[in-house]
Copies of this chain bind each other. A is one copy, B any other.
Amino acid sequence: MKHIILPILTLGVILTGRADAQTQDPLPSWNETATKAAIIEFVEKVSSDGSPDFVPPEDRIATFDNDGTLWCEQPIYTQLAFAFDRVKALAPEHPEWKTKQPYKAVLDGDLESLKSQGEKGVAEIIAATHAGMTSDEFAKISSDWIATAKHPRFKRPYTECVYQPQLELLAFLRDNGFQTFIVSGGGIEFMRPWTARVYGIAAPQVVGSSIVTEFQMQNGKPVLMRLPKVNFVDDKAGKPVGIGQHIGKRPILAFGNSAGDREMLQYATGGDGARLGLLVYHDDAEREYAYGPAGGLPDSKMGTFPQSLMDEAGKNGWIVVRMKEDWNRAFP
């Protein structure tokens, strides 16, 4: 019968646009661990007709943090690298920056001095590099940068320092009727120009931090001008608020990697019915980075994973994805 059944299966693949789940692994970069089994089981039980845990497609919402969850956040957040490069690019127009903090620290490459200036220093650099232009102009500036800038260790574009296992998971979720969203502390307008190309996540499905924009007429042309004032911080307790604003539904799956994602996971997994919370635990210094401080790994200012989060994960049944054990590769 093989010669009859095979063409029928092939037709099925053509018509449905996807291969039979039995014959093709949707998550080849995930090792065959309990983590992978739990993810596949969850996706199947919420998306199978007749399953007691079935969730209709309109409610099959999955939210992903970006920094440290979908792409590398070490040695510094990519957006910070962008801001520092902008300070260097704009420095000729600002000769005073050579002696004025926090710009001096950036121009001198003195990260320790910058750290000592705390969040105020970073906020000033963000305002100087992210405001004072239209949204369209900012999209052009940040897109041009991301097309050419390279990660200092991996020597490849930042958009290629995304996690291959997560690209597979995003596609697997969408193939099963999920809507995938980014919910990141990073700048919403910094991410949107490239998330469709890199993650398959379109601009309206990106939630992030933002500065105030104002509608203006410039030489008869209507624009959105970016002002040096914080509008919304999409981090910690801000993440559920951003989800409420932009999505208007409680996610059934949330994936993060740090203390900034705690409330998003609480919110997602605190609803009724089947829920899944996941956290990337970076324990792979060889292929990527190892940081915590949970589990005794070195502490990190970027994407800190405290022991209290590890404890909460255990208590709430959130799955801790151990990069070293659960993923057989990091980048594409």
- Mark A residues whose CB is within 8 Å of B: 58, 135-136, 179, 181, 188-189, 192, 196, 202-206, 210, 213-215, 217, 221-222, 224, 231, 237-238, 240-241, 244-250, 263, 266-267, 270
Contacts and interface: CB of A to CB of B under 8 A. Distances in A.
B248 A203 contact: yes
28 contacts: A58-B196, A58-B202, A135-B244, A188-B245, A192-B248, A203-B247, A203-B248, A203-B249, A204-B204, A204-B205, A210-B245, A213-B241, A213-B245, A215-B237, A215-B238, A215-B240, A215-B263, A221-B270, A222-B240, A222-B263, A222-B266, A222-B267, A222-B270, A224-B240, A224-B241, A224-B267, A231-B245, A246-B246
A127 to B, nearest CB: 18
A267 B204 contact: no
Contacts of A244: 135, 213, 224
A112 B38 CA distance: 61
State the copy count for this chain.
2
Contact of A215 (B217, B221, B267): B267
Contacts of A204: 179, 181, 204-205, 246-249
A282 to B, nearest CB: 26
A210 B189 CA distance: 21
Contacts of A215: 237-238, 240-241, 263, 267
Contacts of A266: 217, 222
Given A192-B248, A204-B249, 16 more contacts: A58-B203, A135-B244, A136-B250, A179-B204, A181-B204, A188-B245, A204-B247, A214-B237, A214-B241, A215-B237, A215-B240, A215-B267, A222-B266, A222-B267, A224-B240, A224-B244
Nearest to A266: B222
B248 A188 contact: yes
Contacts of A136: 250
